[in-house]
Amino acid sequence: MLVWLCVFVRVVANPFSNVFQKLLTRQFAHALSIVCVTHGLLTVACVPFLAVSLPPVSFEFWSNISVSALLCVAGNVLIVLALENSDLSVLGPINAYKSVISLIPGMILLAEFPGLLGLIGIGLIIVGSYFLLDQKSQESGATAMKRFFTDRGIQYRLAALVFSALEAVYLKKALRASSSTTAFAYWCVLGFVISLATVAVLLRREQSARNLRIFRKNGLTVFLLAVTTGLMQLCTLFVLEYLKVGYALALFQTSTLISVLLGYHLFQEPHLLKRLTGSAIMVMGAILIIVAK
């Protein structure tokens, strides 16, 4: 029962986390700073746990959780950049492409190609993508699809999927040598260390000062971002402890429908029914690919 509750919380928390990220980008906060402050607040929340628990000693845990944190920071920065450039109701459904991306290593390295169900799933995702297009008059479908995939926000989101798919693998490996709560705590801390070091190197002092002013002015949004991100990651880790990665990813796909609804109601993004239809088709395609593996 607790596993299904965590699945539900994760499905809801993920799109709301994206909402708070998008709100901060609208205030011109830097993507890297948004990720850094999120991990910083989560690290503060983890201090009581870290104070009373002994850190894991295995190389397997530290190597995998470190790689996972690095991939997470990179992926989240790309997600924030995507939200800065494109609609939430379009970027949410793009998550279905994670199931397609996960097939690529097998095809390249092992010559393992998708069967009939997998091919149908890929076809459904492509068809569903067509419903996400904001097609202009006198523009052909092929031209609209080309414009869709050359959109900077879409490209950032697809790149983020590569990082998040790899992150899930390393998180699963880290869980074998620890618990979900331990993995979560050190994921937060390492993510904060990595993002803070990157901010110190890449952002000028005046940029950092401006971001801090934005965060102070939008304190509630920053707090809610940390809460939803923390819930999303903790529930993800708990679910990965009990379910196979493929099944968990299939269940998580349903959050795309919530993203479309939130984009419409909070940001007045257009084409609600069309984008809901496309999302539903893409979710079915992603589930078919995952089930067919």
SS3 annotation, the chain? CHHHHHHHHHHHHHHHHHHHHHHHHHCCCCHHHHHHHHHHHHHHHHHHHHHHCCCCCCHHHHHHHHHHHHHHHHHHHHHHHHHHHCCHHHHHHHCCHHHHHCCHHHHHHCCCCCCHHHHHHHHHHHHHHHHCCCCCCCCCHHHHHHHHHCCHHHHHHHHHHHHHHHHHHHHHHHHCCCCHHHHHHHHHHHHHHHHHHHHHHHCCHHHHHHHHHHHHHCHHHHHHHHHHHHHHHHHHHHHHHHCCHHHHHHHHCCHHHHHHHHHHHHHCCCCHHHHHHHHHHHHHHHHHHHHHC
Q: Is the per-residue pLDDT at 148 higher than 90?
A: no
192 touches 43 (CB < 8 A): yes
Residue 276 has pLDDT above 90, yes or no: yes
Compare 244 and 91 and report the one with higher pLDDT.
Answer: 91
Conformational region of residue 244, where left means phi above 0, alpha means psi within -120 to 50, and beta covers everything else: beta
pLDDT value of residue 110: 57
Contact 49, 181 (CB under 8 A): yes
Range of the domain at 136: 2-292
Distance between CA 53 and CA 203 in Å, rounded? 34
pLDDT band at residue 137, thresholds of 50, 70 and 90?
A: low
pLDDT of residue 13: 97
pLDDT over 90 percentage in the chain: 59
Instruction: Tell whether the model's pLDDT for residue 18 goes beyond 80.
Output: yes
Q: Which residue has the higher pLDDT, 261 or 105?
A: 261
Residue 65 has pLDDT above 60, yes or no: yes
Structure token digits, residue 281 = 């088709």
Confidence of residue 26 (pLDDT cuts 50, 70, 90): very high
Query: How confident is the model at residue 293, as a pLDDT?
Result: 64
pLDDT of residue 242: 80
What's the confidence (pLDDT) of residue 214? 97
Count up the domains in the chain and report the number: 1
* pTM over 0.85, yes/no: yes
Q: At residue 34, does pLDDT exceed 70?
A: yes
The pLDDT of 45-74, averaged and rounded, is: 92
Residue 134 has pLDDT above 70, yes or no: yes
The residue-averaged pLDDT of 117-139 equals 82
Give me the percent of the chain exceeding a pLDDT of 70: 94
Question: What are 118's two structure tokens?
Answer: 């997998």
**Residue 120, C-beta contacts closer than 8 angstroms, at least 6 positions apart:** 285, 288
State yes or no: pLDDT of 234 exceeds 90: yes
Q: What is the pLDDT of residue 146?
A: 82
- Model pLDDT, residue 105: 65
Comparing CA positions, the residue from 55, 8, 12 lying closest to residue 228 is 12
Higher per-residue confidence, 55 vs 160: 160
Q: What is the pLDDT of the chain when averaged over all its residues?
A: 89
Show Cβ contacts of residue 287 under 8 Å, excluding neighbours closer than 6 positions.
121, 250, 253
Residue with the bigger pLDDT between 144 and 89: it is: 89
Q: Given this model, what pLDDT does residue 131 score?
A: 87
- The pLDDT assigned to 96 comes to 84
Confidence class of residue 267 from pLDDT cuts 50, 70 and 90? very high
Q: What's the mean pLDDT in 185-206? A: 95
Are the CB atoms for 96 and 286 separated by under 8 Å? yes
